[in-house]
Amino acid sequence: MTSPSQTGVVEKAAPAAEGGAPPGLAPRQLMWRRFRRDRTGMVSAGVVLFFFLVALLAPLISTLYGKDPYTTYGLDRPELLDPLTGYPMKPNGGIDGEFWFGIEPKLGRDVLMQLVYGIRTSLLIGLAATVLSTVTGIVIGVVAGYMGGRTDYFLGRLIDLLLSFPQQLFFVAFMPVVTALFVSPQKETPTYFRVTALVLVLWLLGWMQLARLLRGQVLSLREREFVEAAKVTGASPWRIVRKELLPNLGTPILVQVTLMLPNFVTTEAALSFLGVGMVEPTPDWGRMFAKGANFYEGDITYMFFPGIAMVVFVVAFNLLGDSVRDAMDPKTTR
């Protein structure tokens, strides 16, 4: 017979196994409770939110700061740049109370505004490509896993074919082809068209890993008892997918998205660095790296700020992905 003291131990052990959460909380509430206790995740979420706010409020920041990313302050005011080298006259890239991050060599544009609007450009392209790739990966992965048979075979071979492409080389080679098909060589490619082309190219080869991951998850879930029970009750395939499968795919989707977005941002920056992405005068992270590579011997400061910003953004997003995964599945360990 169990003594009262032993009963109390058993009763206290149950909440402890759930991380001290009181009974009756919904899974989302439990996930949020675990995530709030993860200091790394909270700090990473704050950093990521800061980057998105900077991108969203770029025009307001420009108005309050009193400068924009396009004005060539160094050419308008000759005292800012050395007439022989074109580098800023003041030390540390021209950093002072007027230009907080200094000015760009040769042209004298404000580095802070170049960085703020560069973040806006890169995040816009990366976020659009992430949304399209996520939707495509969910649709194809779930359809392949749930339907099985010839549908699964055909979609699986399509995924294998696209994964076999060397992505970086394909990006570099495909971007000029896309622009040449729709824009005359005698005309300058509009900025909106370059943005659209970059999003489409990133999306074309960006959804396969998520689709393959979800296909495997759905193949396992469709044999579970709750799916079989739904079929017995006469539920339609769409209802089974929407009510039974998708709620159980939240963890892999969220984790994959947190890896996908920084990957797209860095890929877009790499394309701009190689000259097949965004070009002058559009502010862009990759274009700042390309310009900085030409100036680093005389002014390392110009590359310093976009480099630090890129590293912080990518690291914060990766840590956020780990924290989200641990919060949604507490059995996992880092």
Could you report the per-residue pLDDT of 144-202, keeping only the tens digit for each?
A: 988 888 988 999 899 888 888 777 777 777 777 777 777 766 677 778 888 888 898 88
Number of H helices, E strands in the chain: 16, 0
Read off the pLDDT of each residue in 48-58 and give the average, rounded to a whole number.
93
User: Whole-model pTM?
Assistant: 0.82
Which residues have CB under 8 Å from 206's CB, separation 6+? Answer: 129, 130, 132, 133, 260, 264
pLDDT digits (tens, 9 = 90+) for 82-98: 888 888 888 888 888 88
pLDDT digits (tens, 9 = 90+) for 101-124: 988 888 889 999 999 999 999 999
pLDDT digits (tens, 9 = 90+) for 308-328: 898 999 899 888 888 887 777
* 192-202 per-residue burial string, b: 16 or more CB within 10 A, e: under 16: eebbebbbebb
Give the other-Cβ count within 10 Å of 282's Cβ. 17
- What CA–CA distance (Å, rounded) separates 72 from 58? 19
pLDDT digits (tens, 9 = 90+) for 236-289: 888 888 888 888 888 888 888 888 898 899 888 888 888 888 888 888 888 888
Per the rule left: phi > 0, alpha: psi between -120 and 50, beta: everything else, 52 is alpha
Residue with tokens 């689709």: 211
